[in-house]
Amino acid sequence: MPKKILIIDDDPIVVKYLQAVFSDNGYDTCTANSSSEGLEVVRKEKPDLITLDLQMPDEWGPRFYRKLRKDKEHRDIPVIVVSGIDGDHAIQSAVAFVRKPFDPEKLVGIVKNTIG
């Protein structure tokens, strides 16, 4: 069964882009356009990995991350930050920090190293 990646980003075009990149490389995807929706999708879809934007309206990525870490069942899901913000300390235990605009092959490489 293919591994599933949750994409959290408020920009629908970026979401579509990441979806295409991941599905072209054999992954399933699910999406959320906000932090709060992200948590719902995590519980419903139980993804194997999450890509997270930092700057989003209402709740920013770091807050999603804190909430995720408090959720016992899902706290160990690896998170890759994909953001245009220069600040890789916002989420220290992220698997990787990928700056927008990103190289899709590099991103896929990180994903493969993390979840195979």
Partner 1 sequence: MEDKLLLVDDEEGIRNVLRISLADLGYTVFTAADGKEALTIFKEEQPDIVLTDIKMPGIDGVELLRRIKHENPETEVIMITGHGDMDLAVQSLKNDATDFITKPINDDILEISVQKAREKILVREKLRAYTANLEALLREKSALQDRLSSLGLRISSISHGIKGLLTGLDGGMYLVDGGLKKNDSDQIREGWTIVKEMVDRIRKMVLDILFYARERELKPETIDVHSFCQEVAQGVGQKLKERGIEFHQDLSGATGSFRVDPGYLRTALINIIENAADACQKKEDLAAPKVVFRAAEENGEILFEIADNGIGMDEEAREKIFELFFSSKGSQGTGLGLYISQKVVGQHGGSIRVRSQPGRGSRFFLKVPRSGPEEGESAAPA
The residue ranges that bind partner 1 (CB under 8 A) are 10-11, 13-14, 16-18, 20-21, 24, 55-57, 84-86, 99-102, 104
**Taking the complex as a whole, how short is the minimal distance between the CB of residue 75 and partner 1, in angstroms?**
28
DSSP track, 14-30: HHHHHHHHHHHTT-EEE
Closest CB to partner 1 among 2 and 84? 84
End-to-end CA distance of the chain: 12
Instruction: Evaluate the omega torsion of the peptide bond into residue 101 and state whether it is cis, within 30 degrees of 0.
Output: yes
Query: Least distance to partner 1 from the beta carbon of 91, Å?
Result: 17
Which of 28, 20, 29 lies closest to 2, judged by CA? 28
Supply the minimum distance, in Å, between the C-beta of residue 107 and partner 1: 11
Phi and psi, residue 6, nearest 5°: -95, 130
**Least Å from the CB of residue 93 to partner 1:** 24
Pick 74 or 85: Cβ nearer partner 1:
85
